[in-house]
Amino acid sequence: MSSLKFKRVLLKLSGESLMGVQGFGISSEVLDFFADEVKKVHDVGVQLGIVIGGGNIYRGLSAGSQGIDRATGDQMGMLATMINSLALQNAVEKKGITTRLMSAIKMEEIAEPYIRRRAMRHLEKGRVVILGAGTGHPYFTTDTAASLRAVEIGADIIVKGTRVDGVYDSDPEKNPKALRFENVSYQDILKKNLRVMDLTAVSLCQENDLPMMVFNMDVPGNLLKLVMGEPVGTFINNDNSK
C-alpha cells in the first residue's frame, strides 16, 4: 500500500466498452477481463468506486430521433446503467471481492440507495462500490455522474478507461497523425474542445481541483500501473503538471 500513488479511485467506464467485438449488449469476456483488472487494484489496497454508462443498451441522447422526449430517454438510460452495473457486480464478486451496488434511483430490491457517507464507509471497509443510475436526474451524463461521485467520496483521482492511451488533439482512430498529450490542463481541455468528457463533468473536476487520468483500459495491468503512479495515459489537472 505504501507504493500506491492513488488510494481512493473513481473508475469511469463507458457502456460501449462492455460490448467487446459485438455490436450490442454485454460481452462475458469483457466483463471477466474488467473484473480481473479490478481485482488487481483491490488486492493492493485501492479503494475503488466505479461508474459505468449504459450506451451499449440505450443512450438518452438518441431518444429524440425515436420520438421519445429527452427526460424520458435519459431515465431509460439510467436503467441501462443499472443493468450494466449488475453484470459488472456479478463478474467482480466471482473473483472473491465483496461489492456494493448503489443506485441514485430507489430500487431497494436490487441496490442500496446512494448515500454519500455509506458509500465512503463501504470503501473504507475494502468493498468495491459500483455507483449506478447516473446522478438520478435527466440531462446529466454518466461522465458528470462520475465527476460528481468522485468529488463527493473524496477520490484522489478520477480515471477514465477508454480504447486509446490518452487524450489526443483529434481522434487517433481516424487521424494517424493525431498528437497525444502527456499532460494537459482542464483549461486547455475546455479551450481546445478536446471532448474528454462533457463540459459539466470537466468543470466539476476543475472547480474541485480533482485530477483525472485518461488511459487505455483494454491493456492488461494498465489500471494497476496507473494507481502505482506509472504514466500510462494523459494526466489532467489544473496546472498542466504532475
Strands (E) in 94-169, as ranges, are 99-103, 112-113, 128-132, 157-162, 167-168
The single-letter DSSP state of residue 4 is: -
Q: At what angle do helices 142-152 and 116-124 cross, to 10 degrees?
A: 70
Q: How far is CA 91 from CA 94, 97, 128, 132, 214, in A?
A: 5, 10, 12, 16, 24
Distance CA 61, CA 64 (A): 7
C-alpha torsion 72→77→78→83, nearest 10:
140
What pTM, to 2 d.p., does this model score? 0.94
Model confidence pLDDT, tens digit, residues 87-136? 999 999 999 999 999 999 999 999 999 999 999 999 999 999 999 999 99
Predicted confidence at residue 24, as pLDDT, reads 83
Q: How far is CA 149 from CA 1, 48, 115, 122, in A?
A: 23, 12, 10, 14
The helix/strand/coil state of 73 is helix
Percent of the chain with pLDDT over 90: 80
Cα dihedral across residues 126, 15, 22, 67: positive or negative: positive
Model confidence pLDDT, tens digit, residues 149-206? 999 999 999 999 998 999 998 888 888 899 999 999 999 999 988 888 999 999 999 9
The cell numbers describing 183, all together, are 499532460
Predicted confidence at residue 90, as pLDDT, reads 98
Q: Would you place residue 21 in the very low, low, confident or very high pLDDT band (cuts 50, 70, 90)?
A: confident
Distance CA 227, CA 141 (A): 25
